């Protein structure tokens, strides 16, 4: 909770007054307004504390009901762009800029940015708010310079994270958290947005497990992987800091990694991995579990696995969940962890892994293809950098805010083509192609207590159903959070009405 007792009464009164005059104003906007008026920087938690004490706070998290201006977006393929924006956060930052510079209410600022980004993809367009704003305000040079700064800051994705231990060992994890690598020369197609990476590590710092897709290696787990997981303990091998590296492997920032407590991790091991360096024991009968958010049934059993690393001379025992997709079939994957039986149930352990990696074999096949493709074409990153530079040309001398948001839209489209659609599928195709076949699709959104489910509806004969399903699979690995709830994606063919 933020510390507020040292603040002057006039600052506290100002913060309370902002909330009373605009109930939708955010902590971020209020921080900026206080800094401008009083030249004092106040944390978002302190502002939220003041509002709570004044009975003005709506609590942590966002409203579960979809905002009216976003309903058309989530009834269309524009939801793909919206989902990627949730990972990048450009729309929110631009809306905050309008609140701060133009003194607009937060809902109005959000609606204006939504209109710029999505209106061209919607069949039923909400009422325009742009016509009510004086054009000169959206052409203000200071506003445009700040908006350009925001977009430029979002153009770089994170290729890898380097974790450093107190023993001065270094370990690399790709931006999408597939596995541990020996060097930073990781396939660039495994990049992820800085916001998503920092949130993932931040959630781990708050107690979430560190979830990796798989342990690296075939005959034996790699030395760097074993040393990496040993770094989650509270001893000399523990991890002390981490560094984010951009696509070009330039350092972005280094942050401390709190090692004052034991941290939990989860990772997958395939049955064909480490056969000579692994012993296993199934310790319970398999039981059926159904995960409502995944819409899938699995069969799980308690297991114990020992992994050997011959070069290090180590044997490590792990609690494991043996998982099948059919009760009479073979084990599909072993989910290993340092969680004890008293820490987490077997069902919760399986679910914690599957919420990040729900596609299992399809994900592994995709992972393997991308690693192999990178080995043959390590220069694909320079090609993407060139396209990003081209997309940002509109930022050089923007005439109004619309020019800047169009450049941001092109960046969203490039992210989708590079990371969410099959390799080579959109080669030499511009945004008009993805717009026609993806962003203009019809969609249906549903919600339960904890999740949103968005289904793209396509007609019989739609030519890119496989690619659309691939896109949904990749999005479901990215943990898209919307309005405080997890957003899941799927696709189905529209059944003709009788």
Q: What is the mean pLDDT of residues 99-104?
A: 89
Who wins on pLDDT, 155 or 146?
A: 146
Give pLDDT, residue 383. 56
CA dihedral (348, 261, 257, 415) in degrees, to 10, reads 0
Q: Is the pTM of this model over 0.85?
A: no
Q: 4-8, 67-71, 369-373, 423-427: lowest mean pLDDT where?
A: 67-71
Q: What is the spatial distance between Cα 434 and Cα 415, in angstroms, rounded to a whole number?
A: 12
Tokens coding 78:
């524009």
Q: Are the beta carbons of 245 and 253 closer than 8 angstroms?
A: no
pLDDT in tens, 385-399: 556 556 665 566 788
Per-residue pLDDT band for 64 (boundaries 50, 70, 90) equals: very low
- Residue 331 backbone phi and psi in degrees, to 5: -65, 130
Burial 21-38 (b: 16+ CB within 10 A, else e): ebebbbbbbbbbbbeeee
Tokens coding 196:
């998503």
Give the domain ranges of the chain: 1-60, 157-367
Q: What residues form DSSP beta bridges with 336?
A: 267, 320
Q: What is the mean pLDDT of residues 169-185?
A: 95
Q: What residues form DSSP beta bridges with 447?
A: 452
Q: Are the beta carbons of 229 and 173 closer than 8 angstroms?
A: no
Average pLDDT of every residue of the chain? 86
CATH for 1-60, options being 1.10.3470, 1.10.10, 1.20.1080, 3.90.930 = 1.10.10
pLDDT in tens, 31-52: 777 876 777 878 777 888 888 7
Q: 128-132, 254-258, 416-420: lowest mean pLDDT where?
A: 128-132
Burial class (CB in 10 A: 0-12, 13-18, 19+), 131: exposed
pLDDT in tens, 396-413: 678 889 889 988 998 999
Give pLDDT, residue 18. 78
pLDDT in tens, 114-127: 888 988 888 777 77
Give the residue from 38, 49, 41 showing the smallest Cα distance to 2.
49
Give pLDDT, residue 15. 85
Q: What is the mean pLDDT of residues 162-180?
A: 93
* pLDDT above 90 (res 490): yes
Instruction: Please state, in angstroms and as integers, the Cα–Cα distance from residue 85 to each residue in 34, 78, 321, 457, following that order.
Output: 27, 11, 34, 22
Q: What is the mean pLDDT of residues 181-185?
A: 94
pLDDT above 70 coverage of the chain, percent: 89
Give pLDDT, residue 234. 61
* pLDDT above 70 (res 161): yes
Give pLDDT, residue 238. 84
Q: What is the mean pLDDT of residues 85-94?
A: 92
Give pLDDT, residue 36. 67
Per-residue pLDDT band for 443 (boundaries 50, 70, 90) equals: very high
Per-residue pLDDT band for 441 (boundaries 50, 70, 90) equals: very high
């Amino acid at each position: 909770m933020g510390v507020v007792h040292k603040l002057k009464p006039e600052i506290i009164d100002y913060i309370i007054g902002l909330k009373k005059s605009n109930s939708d104003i955010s902590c971020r906007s209020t921080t900026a307004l206080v800094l401008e008026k009083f030249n004092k920087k106040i944390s978002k938690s302190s502002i939220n504390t003041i509002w709570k004490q004044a009975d003005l706070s709506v609590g942590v998290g966002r409203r579960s009901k979809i905002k009216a201006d976003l309903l058309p977006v989530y009834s269309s393929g524009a939801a793909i762009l919206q989902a990627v924006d949730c990972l990048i956060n450009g729309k929110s930052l631009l809306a905050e800029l309008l609140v701060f510079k133009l003194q607009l209410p937060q809902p109005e600022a959000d609606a204006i940015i939504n209109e710029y980004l999505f209106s061209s993809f919607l069949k039923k367009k909400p009422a325009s708010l742009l016509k009510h704003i004086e054009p000169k305000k959206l052409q203000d040079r200071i506003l445009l310079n700040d908006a350009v700064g925001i977009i430029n800051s979002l153009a770089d994705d994170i290729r890898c994270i380097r974790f450093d231990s107190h023993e001065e060992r270094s370990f690399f994890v790709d931006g999408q958290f597939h596995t541990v690598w020996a060097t930073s020369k990781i396939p660039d197609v495994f990049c992820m947005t800085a916001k998503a990476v920092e949130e993932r590590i931040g959630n781990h710092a708050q107690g979430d497990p560190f979830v990796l897709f798989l342990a690296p290696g075939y005959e034996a787990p790699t030395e760097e992987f074993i040393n990496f997981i040993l770094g989650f303990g509270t001893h000399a091998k523990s991890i002390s800091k981490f560094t984010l590296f951009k696509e070009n492997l330039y350092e972005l920032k280094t942050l401390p990694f709190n090692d004052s407590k034991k941290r939990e991790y989860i990772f997958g091991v395939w049955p064909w991995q480490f056969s000579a360096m692994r012993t296993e024991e199934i310790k319970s009968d398999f039981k059926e579990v159904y995960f409502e958010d995944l819409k899938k049934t699995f069969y799980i059993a308690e297991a114990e696995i020992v992994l050997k690393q011959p070069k290090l001379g180590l044997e490590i025992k792990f609690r494991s969940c043996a998982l099948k997709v059919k009760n009479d079939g073979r084990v599909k994957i072993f989910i290993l962890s340092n969680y004890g039986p008293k820490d987490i149930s077997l069902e919760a352990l399986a679910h914690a892994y599957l919420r990040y990696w729900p596609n299992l074999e399809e994900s592994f096949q995709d992972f393997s293809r991308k690693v192999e493709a990178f080995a043959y074409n390590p220069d694909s990153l320079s090609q993407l950098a060139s396209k990003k530079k081209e997309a940002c040309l509109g930022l050089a001398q923007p005439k109004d805010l619309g020019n800047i948001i169009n450049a941001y839209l092109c960046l969203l489209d490039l992210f989708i083509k590079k990371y969410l659609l099959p390799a080579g599928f959109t080669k030499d195709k511009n945004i008009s192609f993805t717009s026609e076949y993806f962003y203009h699709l019809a969609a249906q959104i549903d919600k339960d207590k904890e999740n949103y489910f968005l289904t793209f509806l396509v007609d019989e004969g739609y030519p890119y159903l496989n690619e659309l399903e691939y896109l949904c699979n990749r999005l479901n690995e990215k943990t898209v959070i919307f309005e405080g709830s997890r957003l899941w994606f799927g696709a189905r063919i529209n059944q003709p009405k009788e």
